[in-house]
């Protein structure tokens, strides 16, 4: 079983992971199993929480390390790297700057492949922990929520995988971004085809008082073709306790890392969910690993 995209996961499959994450316990169910970590891009949360999850289930990890210190530096192809690492590990977690790379890797190996972010494409395990957080902290019924998704909707892979997943729950969606960072055409088309109710706006003021969750993202600087284009749009939005003064009890989420789009003055308020959200990466990834490698769930 590969986990490549939320586009091909059913609502039932997602709920199975979320239910399992509720009850999964530390133990030895994955004793003797090894997870291969191949991160061709920086990572703190995803890599460390996968490692923590694997160890809490009694398994172990082997880590390619940075691109700089691996044979990728010598010009090895992704196909060759994954074929080799398949001999060292029972499942592979891959993050890569090129869209479609996890799917490509899955064509070269029999071991399960988990997409930990492919360029501006998808980040399905982040979505599962986002859904888990909404379900545990906001409302069990994801379909009853109104979720605002704000920031870099163009290059943000967490946005793409989350939107397509929430559409399957019929969650009402409001997309908030500067016009340059609107949703890409392929995601908009998918949403239109799904029949979910959504709108696109440039300012959060008009929608925030109706939201249950405001999901904020950073501008993905590394994906801009020109640094100048990034500079033009950098620092163009920021959520603070002032901006949420009249917003009721909206909960603010963020996949992290944040740059300057959430004022730290929000951290100790009831609005802030983002650190708990990051911590939920462990139980959710334990559930995923247990289902992929241990056959349970």
**Applying CB under 6 A, which residues contact ligand NCD?**
45-46, 117, 123, 126, 157-158, 217-218, 255-256
Distance from first CA to last CA of the chain, Å, rounded? 13
CB closer to ligand NCD, 29 vs 163 = 163
Name 188's Cβ contacts closer than 8 Å, sequence gap at least 6.
none
Backbone angles phi, psi at 57, to 5 degrees: -100, 10
By beta-carbon proximity to ligand NCD, the closer residue of 45 and 146 is 45
- Say whether 74 is catalytic: yes
Q: Which one of 20, 123, 254, 271 is the catalytic residue?
A: 123
Nearest residue (CB) to ligand NCD, 126 versus 280? 126
Which residue's entry shows tokens 């069990």?
140
For the bound state, the minimum distance from the C-beta of residue 36 to ligand NCD, rounded and expressed in Å, comes to: 18
CB of 60 to ligand NCD, least distance (A): 22
Q: How many CA atoms lie within 13 A of 71 on its CB side?
A: 9
User: What is the Cα gyration radius of the chain?
Assistant: 19
Is 279 annotated in the active site?
A: no
Q: Which is nearer to ligand NCD, 156 or 294 (CB)?
A: 156
Selected catalytic residue, list 6, 46, 125, 217: 46
Shortest approach of ligand NCD to residue 93 CB, angstroms? 12
Which residue's Cβ lies closest to ligand NCD?
Answer: 255
Q: What angle do helix axes 281-293 and 45-56 make, rounded to 10 degrees?
A: 60
Among 6, 51, 81, 95, which one carries the catalytic annotation?
95
Give the DSSP H/E element, type plus range, for residue 146: strand 146-150
Q: What would the two tokens of residue 199 be?
A: 């709108």
Helix axes 157-168, 11-23, angle to 10 degrees: 100
Q: Is 123 a catalytic residue?
A: yes
CA–CA distance, 57 with 41 (Å, rounded to integer):
26
Of 45, 55, 103, 188, which one is the catalytic site residue? 45
DSSP string, 38-54: EESS--SHHHHHHHHHH
Nearer to ligand NCD, 155 or 198 (CB): 155
We find the least distance from the C-beta atom of residue 163 to ligand NCD, in angstroms, to be: 14
**Residue 126 Cβ, how far from ligand NCD at the closest point, in Å?**
5
Q: Return the active site residues.
A: 45-46, 74, 95, 123
């Amino acid at each position: 079983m590969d986990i490549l995209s939320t586009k091909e996961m059913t609502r039932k499959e997602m709920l199975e992971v979320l239910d399992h994450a509720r009850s999964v316990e530390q133990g030895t169910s994955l004793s003797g199993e090894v997870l291969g970590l191949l991160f061709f891009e920086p990572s703190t949360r995803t890599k460390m929480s996968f490692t923590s999850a694997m160890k809490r289930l009694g398994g172990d990890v082997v880590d390619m390390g940075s691109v700089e210190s691996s044979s990728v530096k010598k010009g090895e192809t992704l196909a060759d790297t994954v074929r080799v690492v398949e001999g060292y590990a029972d499942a592979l977690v891959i993050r890569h700057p090129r869209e479609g790379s996890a799917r490509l890797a899955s064509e070269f190996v029999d071991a399960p492949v988990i997409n930990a972010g492919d360029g501006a494409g998808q980040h399905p395990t982040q979505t599962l922990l986002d859904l888990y957080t909404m379900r545990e902290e906001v409302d069990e019924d994801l379909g009853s929520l109104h979720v605002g998704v704000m920031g870099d909707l163009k290059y943000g892979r967490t946005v793409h995988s989350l939107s397509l997943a929430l559409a399957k729950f019929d969650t009402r969606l409001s997309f908030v971004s500067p016009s340059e960072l609107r949703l890409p055409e392929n995601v908009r088309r998918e949403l239109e085809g799904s029949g979910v109710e959504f709108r696109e706006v440039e300012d959060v003021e008009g929608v925030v008082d109706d939201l249950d969750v405001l999901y904020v993202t950073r501008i993905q600087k590394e994906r801009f073709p020109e640094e100048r284009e990034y500079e033009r749009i950098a620092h163009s939005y920021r959520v603070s306790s002032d901006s949420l003064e009249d917003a009721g009890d909206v909960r603010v989420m963020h996949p992290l890392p944040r740059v300057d789009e959430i004022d730290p003055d929000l951290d100790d308020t009831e609005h802030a969910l983002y650190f708990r959200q990051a911590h939920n990466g462990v139980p959710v990834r334990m559930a995923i690993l247990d289902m992929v490698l241990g056959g349970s769930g």
